[in-house]
Structure 1
Amino acid sequence: MNYQVFAALYDQLMADAPYDEWLSFTKKTLGVDYLEGIQILDVGCGTGELLLSMLDEGADVTGVDLSSEMLVVARDKCMKKGVSPLLIHQDMRKLGDLGQYDVATIFCDSLNYLETPDDVKAALHSVSQNVVDNGWLLFDVHSISKIEDEFVGQTFADSEEEISYIWHSFPGEYQNSVEHELTFFVKQENGLYERYEELHKQRTYSVEEYTTWLLEAGFEVEAVTADFSSEIPSEESMRIFFAARKKKRG
């Protein structure tokens, strides 16, 4: 997957993303009004929007992303704000020893970009190694119904002065997976538009599968909710949230 063009356009395309709600979910789950002094590992940090919000709250945040292009954008944004968090170019399945964090987050359906159950298990185990006993792992994923009913077979489009796109979603190679074929038209300095293409693959699983894999990775599931609410997931839910705590060793 080539994020070079996509990274530069990402913030424009995600202008309406609910970063405030991810932040609120984090604080509500932790039972705090502010994140002052909390050490957070933001996995799949992308261009750093949520990371910056956490820093503003007083958290000590480390960002990790597979895309070096995304991290370049994140670094530039941090520099403009006068902050310099540690940003790490790494695969979430192979984090290694980054330290011991109070909280790990994997938001904005980043976990859905892993293609196989073994990939998801590896990511959860990898994150577990970097979370303190009784520490938290918070993440969200697409529901199965969102993949099947809201994405597969759908076409989305938007036309603006600087950027336009056409987004086709097709059934993926695996069960409960989807392939997003995105075509962008970006206005250049000469007034002409240049065309770029991206292919993004996502896959999700049942609540029961995620719960089992969390237990195997050393976490206890504290809550499973839907769509930024405290409600349990239903067949109509679009985004599923997991809040899990690292079990004490020994």
Structure 2
Amino acid sequence: MSGESYHAFAHVYDLLMEDIPYREYAEWVRKVSGPAEGKTLLDIGCGTGTLTEQFAREGFRVTGIDLSGDMLSVAKERFEEAGLEGMFFEQPMQEMEGHTGYDLAVIAIDSLNYVTDAREVAAVFRHVFGALHPGGRLLFDVHSPYKMTELFLDGPFTADLEDVSYIWHTYPGEEPLSVESEISFFLRRQDGLYVRKEEFHLQRTFTPDTYIRLLEESGFAVRSVTADWTGEPPAENSERIFFHAVK
């Protein structure tokens, strides 16, 4: 994902992502981590800070990292309006630096799928390993191979809301288990006219075995691999796969 990706998306992202199960995600993190009070949490690929805010409200001391300065501007505004404390840094997750002493790291809502080279995924894991305390936990999710090769190609996907609409075309990418998305946004202006914006996104996933290997090579012990909020191992038609690893 380039630095320009999500530029137009940032200010309408929350409207279009209302169906994302943020509450379930926070509950999963809380179940794994135990009581939040006083613990430090690194939210990697934090976007507009919706989930980061939930973590902060639960008592985590939060730091957010994202590639998009536009997304982080929304996240900072969100925290200021809510009177919450949090630090935010504009960094690619595969190049993040200067972070140490965290109890928990989260890469939520398939953010890791924007890292499309296995060597860079390994770099993410190495950086996270260095950022955690001994015993610290990494929690993340990714799209399943089934979702990349089947469900994403059922488009186009559309949404028509009061102030924004989009058409989302997705095509097979050049690399295995990758997709390329072209997104046309139509943003309603105050005068009632619409402005059209274009985005291009590239996402890629890897098999669960590949993620496990890269985690273990980075020093992590993998505690669980589950799918679709079930707590059960992934099946052939699972859509979202969750990983819990410990330093």
- Shift of residue 17, structure 1, vs aligned partner: 1.1
Instruction: Give the match's secondary structure for 1:21.
Output: helix
Query: Equivalent residue of 2:148, what SS?
Result: helix
Residue 8 of structure 2 is aligned to residue 5 of structure 1 = yes
Partner of residue 158, structure 1: 159
Is the CA contact (8 Å cut-off) linking 2:100 and 2:133 kept in structure 1? Answer: no
**Alpha-carbon offset, residue 97 of structure 1:** 2.6
Q: Which amino acid aligns with 1:235?
A: E
Structure 1: 5+ residue runs without aligned partners?
A: none
Give the deviation of 1:95 after TM superposition. Answer: 1.5
| 1:109-128 pair list within 5 angstroms | 109-128=110-129
Aligned-partner Cα distance in 2 for 1:47–1:160: 19
Larger CA deviation: 149-158 vs 218-227: 149-158
1:23 aligned onto 2:26: yes
Give the whole-Å Cα distance in 2 for the aligned partners of 1:161 and 1:242.
Answer: 37
1:73, 1:237 → 2: CA distance?
32
Alignment of 1:1-250 (within 5 A): 1=2, 2=4, 3-30=6-33, 32=34, 34-152=35-153, 154-246=155-247
After superposition, the C-alpha distances for 1:127-167 in whole angstroms (9 at most, x for unaligned) are 11101111100000000000001002521112122111111
How many Å separate the matches in 2 of 1:129 and 1:190? Answer: 50
- Counterpart of 2:184 in structure 1: which amino acid? T
Structure 2 residues not aligned, in runs of 5+: none
2:222 maps to a residue whose letter is V
Moved over 6 A (4+): none
Structure 1 distance, partners of 2:136, 2:96, is: 17
Report the count of equivalent residues. 244
CA deviation vs aligned residue, 1:58-87 (integer Å, no higher than 9, x gap): 111111111111000000000001123111
- Aligned residue type for 1:227: D
TM normalised by structure 2 equals 0.96
How far 1:36 moved relative to its partner? Answer: 1.1
Q: Is the 8 A contact 2:66 2:91 kept in 1?
A: yes
Any conservation in 2 of the 1:146–1:238 contact (CA below 8 Å)? yes
What root-mean-square deviation, in Å, do the aligned CA atoms of Structure 1 and Structure 2 show? 1.0
Deviations 1:140-196 (A, max 9, x none): 000000000100252111212211111111001200000111101111111111111
CA contact (8 A) 1:180 1:199 kept: yes
* Percentage of matched positions with identical amino acids: 43
Contact 2:56/2:85 (<8 A) preserved:
no
The one-letter code of the counterpart of 2:38 is G
CA contact (8 A) 1:44 1:110 kept: yes
